[in-house]
Structure 1
Amino acid sequence: MPTKPPTTSTSKNIKDLIFITLLAFFFKILLIPSYHSTDFEVHRHWLALTHSLPLSHWYLDETSPWTLDYPPFFAHFEHFLSFFANLVDPIIVDLHKGLNFDGPSVIVFQRLSVIVSESVLIYGVYLLGRKCGFRERVLMWVLVVWSPGLVIVDHVHFQYNGFLLGILLVSLAALEDRNDLLGGFVFAVLLCFKHLFAVAAPVYFVYLLRHYCRGGVFKGFGRLVMMGTVVAAVFVVAYGPFVYYGQIQQVFSRMFPFGRGLCHAYWAPNFWVFYIILDKVLSVLLVKMGFDIKAPTASFTGGLVGDSSPFAVLPTVTPLATLILVLLAMSPCLYKAWKNPQPRMITRWVAYAYFCGFLFGWHVHEKASLHFVIPLAIVAVQSMDDAKHYYLMSIVSSYSLFPLLYEAQEYPLKVLLLTLHVILMWYGFSSQLSKTVVSNTSAQRKKKDDNYDLKKNSGTNPRKFTLNWIEKSYLSGLLLVEVWSQFLHPAFLGIRLPFLPLMMISIYCAFGMMYSWMWQLHWIVKSH
């Protein structure tokens, strides 16, 4: 007689995760008509040029100001999408007629392409969360799939960060599973999609050299050759055709336009904000003291390539200087990866590397904070010591992206996204902490330790998830900055000093970022 299959908690857990994902999917569908930035036309043009031109002309085309400046694999990704775009509406991929095309067909198609490609991110989260408990997985799922920063940047402003971050998470999952060869291969593929992820390459190199290429001279050398061959093969497939065409220098000049300014048009909240402000303050003080200070010859920012030497007093910062500073900031992490390469630490180390690149790198976009916010969500769910600092950092990161959506109709959306994120984080981390305390209490009871204070640490009175007074004060100040920028500045100053709100947001968020980075640095230095 056939028996009815049992209803397991595992199947229910999977259904819950699917429900969370589908809820996010339908919410993002509702955002299709919302505002989009010039990045929307950038990617539409890339669809057109990869569809209309042969491979040998992709990095030479100048039909539009938005020339192709991503690595070849991303160009092939756009080429793949262009076949479907052509079926939807041929004008989307018309190199000349499609310029600045903004019809419903292209809006729906490109929005859906972002949503569908984000399935790679969902798969990456699934891989990293397999060994976690159900609560941890649900919280991980919510923090990543419902990340306000990711929604703002990808599904409103418009980019494909979820797709690219998904590739990163797949690589990290392979490394955590001790499948180093696969992890190195996937990371190489990622670099051929977007070269800015190369900030974590030193961590990958040191970790794989020490963890994968071990086992004696012959075995270690054999593994080194194997890893090198796999990585080199990926780059040969990506860049080999352009070497053949004699265009490799052209490709690299598009990908690395170092002539741009130190900062992006809207200052990313990083270390260089303080450097710029210090230069401005010093120049004003020295002029008042009678010194002859020449005005800067260029701005701090530049969207187009050009020489920039904007500092009046402090030394001019070069791309090489920022590279050295990033490597110095990253050095404690590299030392730990060399001394004791632990798979369970690799996600934290990689996230820290991207944090260093964000704070000290050249011409950093504010959107680059996603490179470390998303991986650190995985870490925070599994460590309550990290949860508090992730809580603050993710709020600061999300708020720093608010200026990307500057139109009035999007204001309720970004406020709602951040508010929901704050509530879900607080509830999720509090629940996790309560569960941890209950588990610890049960373990202590089993040990029958007479010195253990059951009343103080029992599950009926769990330790609460909370912030210290500095963090609470800082977040309160964040609210004041928003009230001034959104309401008081227009009321009292009108159109005067239009740069002031953006500058205030950059500076204030930079304090929060530096605080979170210093905690991460302290944790890595003290970890074993």
Structure 2
Amino acid sequence: MRSAAAEKTSRMETPAALAMVGLALLVRVCVSMGPYSGMGNPPKYGDYEAQRHWMELSAHLPPRDWYRNGTNNDLSYWGLDYPPLSAYQSLAHARLFLLPFSPDSLALRSSRGYESPFSYCTHSLSLPSLYLLLSSDLLIFFPAALSFVYMYQAAIGRRQRSGDGKADDSVVTWHLAMILFNPALILIDHGHFQYNCISLGFTLGAIAAILSKKDLLASLLFSLALNHKQMSAYFAPAFFAHLLGKSLKRQSPVFEVFKLGLVVLLTFTIVWSPYLYSMKAVMEVLSRLAPFERGIYEDYVANFWCTSSILVKWKILFSLHSLKLLSSGATILITLPSMVQQIKDPSDLGFLYALFNSSFSFYLFSFQVHEKSILLPLLPATLLALREPQLLGLIMHFALLSMYPLLCRDRLIFQYAALLALFVLIFFRINGSHIKKKESSPAILKFLMTMAMCCSFTLHYIYMILQPPEKYPFLFEALIMALCFSQFAMLTVYTNMKQWMLLGISSEILMEKKNI
């Protein structure tokens, strides 16, 4: 049951929350009216074609053939490379939305590159893809966002009774807006065309469950996130450390860990049941989920390996096996401090910082990171918006810049500018006074941030207007990634420090409650 504070917040904020949801849906519809990944660009098109092709495969082939190369499933042409739950989603979308209304779009083999005459106006008309994405938002991501905001405010309400802090209606609405109007997520899901809202929605639901002390439900929801997109593992160290830390502080820690492990095991068993008949079938799926042969990074991404490759040619100097060990070791090393803090002193706020630090560590140092993976650390950044508004503003700006080359290729510049402007308007219109009350930053930090912003705006202009030198065709991309990485590296140092500063605070709050 929700606390009295959560119920009070819910009653106060229901009209505003519904209005926010309606506006967020409208924005998503407007973005979907633009171009999409690979539009009119044969032979492989882009992510839009990948989503359509996966619906085609799941609708016509049995599950055991979804990840297996064959006559009707050429893995070199957008072979399925997400876990089984993502494939089940494709199957459900195919049967509910496409086969009844547009069967030609999913004809086995002959529908490759399917684009209706409406495709060049909007992908939401070429297929009922608008309903697919909006249904995913409405059924999973939006309810999870609402649950989180209410649970977060319930925690603040409990502290209010001990005289710590005050939340008002506009703050609650603003917090919800920061989650729902994340421009990077909207651009990738409704412009570029993916379904990140599902895995992120499951993760967000799991976070809300932890805030409401429903750890078994959190384990179930996060297991679903892992089984929808393997990149959800970016959050796994934070979930593991927090739940382990809480279990170790209870009367029967072994039994608590056993319960959590049992929920995870049962969830994975059910989702993977079509492939558990043989080890070969399991390995066929796993080999698609971890395509190491693609190299340590693809395209240009604002992480350590891509940025430093300007000076160190990692792919030439090191074998694939060595790079896997290097990236794994670096990721574990950078993630470990955050995990130790949560095992030692688990707390709700510390958990949110741990989610950010864990996902950012994976983005910066793990193997095979895509530019779109920045969506993962952006999620906890929006959740920490009330606590760290400057952090959210900074990472959102440079996250969008890091995806700018991709969005330029997708011809989503207008949507990019419009969503960024909308986000900035909401960010400062409601929260401006809150930001000003924060302690002022040192002069040197203000200077560095000003310089970084000036460089960012300059690179936006250069990339769109100028042509790079023939000798260095990807010079502008490299400069963009180097700038973004420099900001991301500073942010991860800052948030790790902030997380460790929480050490002992949760214990003090618990003692205060016992004395009330």
TM-score bracket, shorter-length normalisation:
0.7 to 0.9
Paired letter, 1:468: K
Aligned partners of 1:464 and 1:404: how far apart in 2? Answer: 33
Pick from 462, 471, 485 the counterpart of residue 449 of structure 2: 471
Aligned partners of 1:88 and 1:137: how far apart in 2? Answer: 40
Which residue does 1:237 correspond to in 2?
Answer: 270
Pick from 53, 58, 63 the counterpart of residue 74 of structure 2: 63
Aligned partners of 1:160 and 1:202: how far apart in 2? Answer: 23
Say whether 1:391 aligns with 2:426.
Answer: no
Which residue does 2:51 correspond to in 1?
Answer: 43
Structure 2 CA distance for partners of 1:174 and 1:12, relative to 1, 3 Å: closer
Paired letter, 1:335: V
Pick from 475, 482, 491 the counterpart of residue 516 of structure 1: 491
Aligned partners of 1:211 and 1:380: how far apart in 2? Answer: 25
Aligned partners of 2:196 and 2:442: how far apart in 1? Answer: 31
The answer as to whether partners of 1:40 and 1:159 remain within 8 angstroms in 2 is yes
Question: Is the partner of 1:49 in helix, strand or coil?
Answer: helix
TM-score relative to the length of structure 1 = 0.81
Structure 2 CA distance for partners of 1:482 and 1:463, relative to 1, 3 Å: closer
The answer as to whether partners of 1:430 and 1:464 remain within 8 angstroms in 2 is no
Deviation of 1:98 (Å): 1.5
In the TM superposition, 1:251-262 aligns within 5 A as: 251-262=285-296
Deviations 1:11-63 (A, max 9, x none): 56322222222122122222333211111111101101111011121111433
Paired letter, 2:80: L
Aligned partners of 2:9 and 2:496: how far apart in 1? Answer: 39
Alpha-carbon RMSD: 2.6
Flag the structure with more relative contact order, 1 or 2, with Cα contacts below 8 A and sequence separation at least 6.
2
Aligned partners of 2:470 and 2:423: how far apart in 1? Answer: 32
Deviation of 1:127 (Å): 1.2
- Taking every aligned residue pair, what percent have the same amino acid on both sides? 22
Which residue does 1:297 correspond to in 2?
Answer: none
TM-score relative to the length of structure 2 = 0.83
Which residue does 2:147 correspond to in 1?
Answer: 127
Paired letter, 1:360: F
Which residue does 2:159 correspond to in 1?
Answer: none
Paired letter, 1:374: L
**Which protein has the larger Cα radius of gyration, Structure 1 or Structure 2?**
1
Structure 2 CA distance for partners of 1:359 and 1:347, relative to 1, 3 Å: same
> What 5-or-longer segments of structure 1 have no aligned partner?
1-7, 281-299, 301-308, 438-461
Say whether 1:25 aligns with 2:25.
Answer: yes
Structure 2 CA distance for partners of 1:115 and 1:310, relative to 1, 3 Å: farther
> What 5-or-longer segments of structure 2 have no aligned partner?
1-7, 38-45, 119-123, 154-166, 504-516
Question: Is the partner of 1:259 in helix, strand or coil?
Answer: helix
Aligned partners of 1:502 and 1:9: how far apart in 2? Answer: 45
Question: Is the partner of 1:231 in helix, strand or coil?
Answer: helix
Say whether 1:378 aligns with 2:383.
Answer: yes
Which residue does 2:233 correspond to in 1?
Answer: 198
Structure 2 CA distance for partners of 1:51 and 1:213, relative to 1, 3 Å: farther
Aligned partners of 1:409 and 1:353: how far apart in 2? Answer: 32
Say whether 1:322 aligns with 2:300.
Answer: no
Say whether 1:189 aligns with 2:220.
Answer: no
In the TM superposition, 1:158-177 aligns within 5 A as: 158-177=193-212
The answer as to whether partners of 1:176 and 1:344 remain within 8 angstroms in 2 is no
Deviation of 1:484 (Å): 1.7
Aligned partners of 1:513 and 1:525: how far apart in 2? Answer: 19
The answer as to whether partners of 2:199 and 2:232 remain within 8 angstroms in 1 is no
Deviation of 1:408 (Å): 8.6
Deviation of 1:322 (Å): 0.8
Aligned partners of 1:117 and 1:464: how far apart in 2? Answer: 40
Structure 2 CA distance for partners of 1:465 and 1:238, relative to 1, 3 Å: farther
Aligned partners of 2:203 and 2:442: how far apart in 1? Answer: 30
The answer as to whether partners of 1:149 and 1:398 remain within 8 angstroms in 2 is yes
